[in-house]
Amino acid sequence: MKSFEGQALRWEWRDGVLELTLDRAPANEIGTAMLRELEHFVGAARQLTTETSACVISSAQKSGFSAGADLRELYQGAVALDEKDRSAGVREFLERIHSVLNWLDEAPFVTIAAVHGVCFGGGLELALVCDVIIADKMARFAFPELRLGLIPGFGGIPRLKRDLGNGFVRDLLLTGRSVNATRAQAVGLVSQLAAEGEALKLARATASQITKFDAGTRVAAKKFIKPIPREELRREVEIFCELFTGPAVMAGLKKFVENTSPMPYQP
């Protein structure tokens, strides 16, 4: 399927480039609707691998790339369940999102995230599977999960550790603070900085350049420089599920859902 328009995203294949556009108000929160359509996208992308050189992932929402997991949906779904069912439900969701993100991480084409605005939590984890992140200079990146009594659950820590220095990883994770695009570029998270509103344009130009290279060489190069940290990804799921049954989590989620402060991602 070369084009699709769903409730949370759309995609279009043209001239060797797949463009995936996240578009779910208010900030591309990743819940069951987004996950279902991401799975659909991966199914279509698998069919298009031989004729695809690059994939650009961007957002049509003004707020940014993605604010991360849909915490309201998560809270509302979990609050009605007992501890055992709650844990099973979150594990199933994690297994599915890991499957999507692992496939994108090692996709045989080059993946480019064009990021603007908020790129937090699960949104940053989606950007992290991409080979290249091109960020608008007003973009902000954060892993605010600790405020909920959780760690990032969509592969964030293993992939950050793979790609960046541990000092920055600890700062980002343990303070929960957000960093701007300039800092993100300085530490190697962001590959290219774009002027305001120009990230998608630069991502398209980069994708166009990539279409000129031999597919076999591209695949070999990517495999060599980007190993998938499978063992750590498995451990992350286990730690997340263990933490998810702790008392801090439901209290943290409730506080977030009811929060009306200007910085709801801060504890």
Partner 1 sequence: MPTLEQTTQEVLNLATTHFKLPLGALSPEDDFFKKLGIDSLQTLELLSRIENHFGIELPDYEVQGVSDFKTLAERIQSRL
Residues that bind partner 1 (CB under 8 A): 27, 63-64, 117-118, 137-140, 142, 175-183, 261-266
CB of 143 to partner 1, least distance (A): 12
Torsion (CA) 95, 54, 37, 87 in degrees, nearest 10 = 20
The angle that helices 71-79 and 83-105 make with each other, rounded to 10 degrees, is 150
Residues in a beta bridge with 133: 113
Between 45 and 184, name the residue whose CB sits nearer to partner 1.
Answer: 184
Torsion (CA) 83, 236, 10, 190 in degrees, nearest 10 = 140
CB of 236 to partner 1, least distance (A): 24
What's the Rg (C-alpha) of the chain?
18
Between 20 and 27, name the residue whose CB sits nearer to partner 1.
Answer: 27
CB of 262 to partner 1, least distance (A): 4
Say how far residue 73 (Cα) sits from the centre of its chain: 18
- For the sheet containing 9-14, what is the strand order? 3-5, 9-14, 17-22, 54-59, 110-115, 132-136, 192-194
CA-closest candidate to residue 109, choices 132, 128, 126: 132
CB of 74 to partner 1, least distance (A): 18
Between 247 and 262, name the residue whose CB sits nearer to partner 1.
Answer: 262
| Burial classification of residue 217, based on how many CB atoms lie within 10 Å of its CB (0-12 exposed, 13-18 middle, 19 or more buried) | exposed
Between 52 and 61, name the residue whose CB sits nearer to partner 1.
Answer: 61
CB of 71 to partner 1, least distance (A): 13
b/e map 224-253, b = 16+ CB within 10 Å: eeeebbeeebeebbeebbebbeeeebbebb
Between 166 and 261, name the residue whose CB sits nearer to partner 1.
Answer: 261
CB of 45 to partner 1, least distance (A): 30
CB of 136 to partner 1, least distance (A): 9
Between 180 and 192, name the residue whose CB sits nearer to partner 1.
Answer: 180
3-class secondary-structure state, position 191: coil
Between 155 and 156, name the residue whose CB sits nearer to partner 1.
Answer: 156
